[in-house]
Structure 1
Amino acid sequence: MKQELLNKYSVPVPRYTSYPPANFFNEGFDALSYQDAIIASNGQEPEHISIYIHIPFCFQMCYYCGCNAQLYQKPAVTQSYIDALKKEIKMVLPLLDRSRKISQIHYGGGTPTSQPVPVLKELNGMFLSEFDCIENPEIAIECHPGYMNAAYWDELTDAGFNRISIGIQDFDEEVLRTSNRKHSRLPIEEIISMLRSKGIAVNMDFIYGLPKQTPESFARTIGKAIALKPDRVVTFSYAHVPWVNPLQMKLEEAGLPTVEVKSEIFRSAKHLLTNEGYKAIGLDHFVLPGDELYKASQSKALHRNFQGYCTRRTTGQVYAFGITGISQLATAYSQNTKDLETYISLIEKGEFPVTKGYTLNREEQITRTVISELMCNYTIDWNDIADNLHLSADEVKSAINYNKEALDDFAKDGIIEYDDNHIAIMPDATPFVRNVAASFDRLYKGNESRYSKSI
């Protein structure tokens, strides 16, 4: 990438995991709003149910983390949280139409595997005993291999999961030590072999842009991953947001890679992965050619929700449980409180622990569709989007911030090709897709420091 383009476009922009971004959620959306939105969601699309369960506890705090996580509590506090989680599930399930099917269950954190496997298995059972599933649903959990012994891994494989995401982050010991991340307790080769023997799909997750990383060191890490042939390799860009997690200042003190070095780290990793047959998906995923995500990307049917990249077959409206969980419904977002004590207290009173949310108007729903299509498939066909929304292409463009001058600028810089009917991100410019997406966003004011940089 040309240096002038890195300088021009490496600016704070939303990640667009949702639209509008979560910073627009407001306290006017309350528990009653959420209940009404759940009931309304039964008659809205997507029809399927996607479940997110948040386990916030960690045995050790990684400095890079931007998630809602906290140190492992006393057993009594942790048990109170799990009890509240079960009660919240029992509050929501009666509001859902039993004819709907589960397409996804995803555990995130924190460290979901901080909990005993029987707890995770019981939580799975609360949903799977009440609803049918689509064919081949995705039931996934994020794992921290630093604390999982062979017995735990073996037990986990029988708990109903069919996809495991292993949070490696880096194989380099110095990088892990600087980031306060514990390396895997068991050899990764042994873990992969065990999971494969049970027919479980394997993701390996990495973060680039951390202190001590270089293009050469990260290439060695990715090379080791390739040798193990996981089904999916995910290369998350480190988001430096110390106003969210002050611990990230420790990484700043250790020395973060420059924009140029970070860009080269990703470029080198992408080159290695694609040379070995992996296919690039979205911003940060690499999958094997037979993967459903790749097939969806080829037909421009890749989708994304808070669970990550998925297909239109597996996507669903997201119902989130636990502190800070964000439910992603057809016309509304609802976020639970981030405070553990408040969450438990509200649940014990039989109240939804909603702290804020957002109801999308029609223009915002259209903007969400446009941005999601661009972020997932790197292309927009205005006529296809219009047909799906039962509008004209001009009506779609009028509803969003369609700015021809901005598009001309992107085209001049080689970021996109476009005409009146199509927009396509150029193959070497995909890291700038967030910048292009932001140009369609009426709510984005430009260069807002509360967002992470695109590179």
Structure 2
Amino acid sequence: MKQELLKKYSIPVPRYTSYPPANFFNESLSAGSYRDNIVKSNEQNPQHISIYIHIPFCYQMCFYCGCNSQLLKNDHVIKDYIDALKKEIRMVLPLLDHSRKISQIHYGGGTPTSQPVSVLKEINQMILSEFECIQNPEIAIECHPGYMDEAYWDELIDAGFNRISIGVQDFDEDVLKASNRKLSRIPVADIVKILKDRGMSLNMDFIYGLPLQTPASFAKTINQAISLKPDRIVTFSYAHVPWVNELQKNLEKIGLPSVSVKNEIYETAKQLLIDAGYKAIGLDHFVQPGDELYEALQSKSLHRNFQGYCTRRTTGQVYAFGITGISQLANAYSQNTKDLNTYISQVNAGQYPIAKGYELNKDEQITREVIASLMCNYTVSWRDIASRMDASVDEVKSALNYNCEQLADFKKDGVIEFTEDYITVVPEAAPFVRNVAASLDKLMLNNEKKYSKPV
């Protein structure tokens, strides 16, 4: 990639895992509004139910983490949290129309696998006993292999999960040690065999942009992953946001790769994966050719919600439980408190533990569809968006910061192709899709909020 383009476009912009980004959420959304929006969601699309469970506890803190997590210290506090989590679930499920079906359940953290499998199984049963599921739902969990023995992996499969994400991050032990990440307890190859023998869908997650990583070292890691043939390989770009997590300052002491080196790490990994037959999905996912995500990409119907990339078949409105959990409803977001003690006390008092949220107006709902189409499918058709949002093409463009001069500049730089009918991001410029999305976003005008860089 040309160095002048890297320099020009490597500026802070939102990740757009949601629209608006979470740092636009505010305290104006009350717990009562949250309840009302849940009830309204029964009549809104998508109709499927997607559930997120947040387990914040970790055995040790990885320096790169930007999540809301905390050390496992007090067994009593952990028990109180899990009890409150189950109580929160019981407060929300009766509000949902039980003719709706579950399409996704996702456990994140923190380290969900810090808990005994019996705890996870009980939560799954609480939810799945109340609703039917779509055909082939995705019941997924993020796993830290540093603490899981063979028995735990086997028990996890029996708890109802059908997709496992192994947080490998890197096979280079020096990189893991520099990041304060514990090495896998048993060889990853042995974990893969256990999961494949049981017919599980398997993700492997990696992070690039960490200290000590080079294009050659990360290529070695990716080649090792390819040899194990997981269904999906994810290469997350490390987001350096020390104002969110001060632990990240530890990585500055060792030194982070430059923008150009980080880009070379990604491009090298991407080419290795494509040469091995994997198909690129969005910014960071690579899947086998028969994967449902690739089929959706080919038909320009790839989608995403807070659970990650998905299809229109599997997506749902997201109902989140636990601290910092973000519910993603048709026209509103709500985020739980991030303070563990506040969360426990509010739930035990029968209160919804809402800290902040955001209700989208019609223009913002249109913008969300446009940005989601760009971020997932690298293209947006104004006619398709207009049809989906029951609006005219002019109304769609009016909802955006649609600036022909700015789009022409992207085109001159070889980032996009565009006409009056569509915008398409050029494949070689995929890392800059966030820049294109931000250029269309009215909320980015005169915006001083902090974001990570796209590369």
TM-score by length of 2: 0.99
User: What is residue 155 of structure 1 aligned with on the other side?
Assistant: 155
- Shift in Å, 1:390: 1.7
User: What is residue 79 of structure 1 aligned with on the other side?
Assistant: 79
For 2:352 and 2:190, the matched residues in 1 are separated by 42
User: What is residue 174 of structure 2 aligned with on the other side?
Assistant: 174
For 1:124 and 1:276, the matched residues in 2 are separated by 36
Q: Which runs of structure 2 are paired with 1:410-421 in the superposition (5 Å)? A: 410-421=410-421
Q: Is the 8 A contact 2:23 2:449 kept in 1?
A: no
For 2:194 and 2:208, the matched residues in 1 are separated by 27
For 1:353 and 1:182, the matched residues in 2 are separated by 33
SS in structure 1 of the partner of residue 99 of structure 2: coil
Q: Is the 8 A contact 1:205 1:235 kept in 2?
A: yes
* Mapped pair 1:452 → 2:438: no
User: What is residue 252 of structure 1 aligned with on the other side?
Assistant: 252
User: What is residue 218 of structure 2 aligned with on the other side?
Assistant: 218
User: What is residue 105 of structure 2 aligned with on the other side?
Assistant: 105
* Mapped pair 1:375 → 2:375: yes
How many residues matched?
A: 455
User: What is residue 388 of structure 1 aligned with on the other side?
Assistant: 388
User: What is residue 231 of structure 1 aligned with on the other side?
Assistant: 231
For 2:170 and 2:225, the matched residues in 1 are separated by 10
For 2:210 and 2:125, the matched residues in 1 are separated by 38
- Shift in Å, 1:439: 0.7
Q: Is the 8 A contact 1:12 1:448 kept in 2?
A: no
CA offset digits 1:96-128 (Å, max 9, x no partner): 000000000000000000000000000001110
User: What is residue 330 of structure 1 aligned with on the other side?
Assistant: 330
User: What is residue 397 of structure 1 aligned with on the other side?
Assistant: 397
For 2:448 and 2:419, the matched residues in 1 are separated by 29
For 1:253 and 1:43, the matched residues in 2 are separated by 52
- Shift in Å, 1:449: 5.8
> Unaligned stretches of 5+ in structure 1?
none
For 1:303 and 1:328, the matched residues in 2 are separated by 14
For 1:111 and 1:69, the matched residues in 2 are separated by 8
Q: Tell me: CA distance 1:442–1:449, structure 2 relative to 1, closer, same or farther (3 Å).
A: closer
User: What is residue 13 of structure 1 aligned with on the other side?
Assistant: 13
Q: Is the 8 A contact 1:13 1:446 kept in 2?
A: no
- Shift in Å, 1:93: 0.4
For 1:384 and 1:366, the matched residues in 2 are separated by 11
SS in structure 2 of the partner of residue 157 of structure 1: helix
Q: Which runs of structure 2 are paired with 1:77-156 in the superposition (5 Å)? A: 77-156=77-156
- Shift in Å, 1:261: 0.1
For 1:447 and 1:42, the matched residues in 2 are separated by 34
- Shift in Å, 1:445: 3.2
SS in structure 1 of the partner of residue 444 of structure 2: coil
Q: Is the 8 A contact 1:13 1:447 kept in 2?
A: no
For 2:405 and 2:142, the matched residues in 1 are separated by 42
Q: Is the 8 A contact 1:12 1:447 kept in 2?
A: no
SS in structure 2 of the partner of residue 334 of structure 1: strand
- Shift in Å, 1:260: 0.1
SS in structure 2 of the partner of residue 224 of structure 1: helix
* Mapped pair 1:59 → 2:32: no
* Mapped pair 1:424 → 2:424: yes
Flag as ranges the 4+ runs of structure 1 deviating above 3 A: 445-449
SS in structure 1 of the partner of residue 158 of structure 2: coil
* Mapped pair 1:189 → 2:189: yes
RMSD: 0.8
For 1:57 and 1:392, the matched residues in 2 are separated by 48
TM-score by length of 1: 0.99
